[in-house]
Structure 1
């Protein structure tokens, strides 16, 4: 009986190894090991001064289950992303953990997340276990990116209070849905359909000087490693937009 040449075994083994490594590298549902702390001297919810620029919305979105991120902040691209975070101590921690929204930038003692007190306690099995976790201050965790979901909420544009009608427009995007990042935003005139790319000034704040007059259409590019697509709102921002106002886009992203 003839046996395959040893080199064929080597090639086959190499193929299996490369396939396994490739699958591991592209595993979007896999957990990553890390550490998490919580905001010191904070109340149950998040901060109103987070570096994403969400303001008071950033403290209360998702019921206050929010977090600052270090590397996952990604110069603001990570703002609004959702992660499942669960601590790994089986004596205190639940299998489900907590889903948090990134609203701030920061790190502490080699952490990827600084959770709100509420979110930190949500990782525990019981109220007593939550108290034990808070007493530890920093815990080992594992996390993965998950879709953001806001039932009965459309993507909403909040005009920043620092905007100056009609000379300077700044806004943030509320209720970012799905599992993709908003990587580009265009501002389009509804009369002649001319569009221009906006600047990400910091965090999730998009700005432009000399915005066109009349109703405004905002197009958003949602991207991940595999795909990207432009999302066009149903509703325009009215021509007489005002700082501090919110405007419902009329669309949701699955």
Structure 2
């Protein structure tokens, strides 16, 4: 009994340690930020992540384009805490943003929406911040939170039933990047890999007939796992439709 109890305690401690490692928070990193209306700022109006209107409105429009952190699209959907460093103008609270685009300007990592940029300032000081085309900042990755929202799967507008399917994952909570997407081919009893078309858009020519089951690989802070979304897309899917998965990352 004593040995069994000690073994159980050791295993429990290892599991707690693993969870702690997987969800450890990064330290702040230094960089620069600008805003989307700033001269010399280059961004893609259509949104390089492929989110469309969702990418402009999510998180109360506190969104950002990024350069280095874009990582060929795997950085799309990530959440960051950003705060600037100008005394008496910048707030220590900063702003929490969601990555929805790719952009470059003034050697920055972040191109914030005007709304997010204004929240870097202390109350009533936003107008003093905008003349700075670029500001020194510090930032770190934080978990995304979407209370009341499950993961949603959107059939991208470029899709064409039944020959070509492209999908986007919306409301990805936690600190995870989406690194792979697969769809179940029932007649062959195998998973088919989807290809990252651009940003966070994953596509597949000649997709299986529905209802469709997907499997999404997510990675973050040294942890990788698969999340299955069963029969989430109906047989006769349509481009532009959004489907609730009833599950959520944490």
Normalized against structure 1, the TM-score is what? 0.84
Return the offset for 1:194. Answer: 2.1
8 Å contact from structure 2 (residues 183, 191) kept in 1: yes
* Match 2:97 to one of 80, 95, 100: 100
Q: Which structure carries more strand by proportion? A: 2
Return the offset for 1:113. Answer: 0.2
Q: Tell me: CA distance 1:165–1:92, structure 2 relative to 1, closer, same or farther (3 Å).
A: same
* Match 1:55 to one of 30, 49, 52: 52
SS of aligned partner of 1:184: strand
* Match 2:111 to one of 109, 114, 123: 114
| 1:195 corresponding residue in structure 2 | 191
| 1:87 corresponding residue in structure 2 | 84
Q: Provide the aligned length of Structure 1 versus Structure 2.
A: 225
Following TM superposition, the consecutive aligned residue runs of length 4 or more in structure 1 with deviations greater than 3 angstroms are 189-193
- Aligned pair 1:151/2:147, yes or no? yes
SS of aligned partner of 2:82: strand
Return the offset for 1:239. Answer: 1.0
In the TM superposition, what are the counterparts of 1:1-254 in structure 2 within 5 Å?
Answer: 28-40=25-37, 49-127=46-124, 129-189=125-185, 193-254=189-250
Find the aligned partners of 2:45 and 2:154 in 1 and give their Cα distance.
15
Structure 1 stretch displaced more, 54-63 or 220-229: 220-229
Deviations 1:22-76 (A, max 9, x none): xxxxx7431000000000179xxx9861100001111001110000000000000
8 Å contact from structure 2 (residues 38, 133) kept in 1: no
Deviations 1:139-192 (A, max 9, x none): 110000000110000111111111110000011111011001110111113566
Query: Rg: which structure is higher?
Result: 1
Deviations 1:110-142 (A, max 9, x none): 100000000000111112x11111121211100
Find the aligned partners of 2:147 and 2:231 in 1 and give their Cα distance.
19
Return the offset for 1:106. Answer: 1.0
Normalized against structure 2, the TM-score is what? 0.85
Q: Identify unmatched segments of 5+ residues in structure 2.
A: 1-23
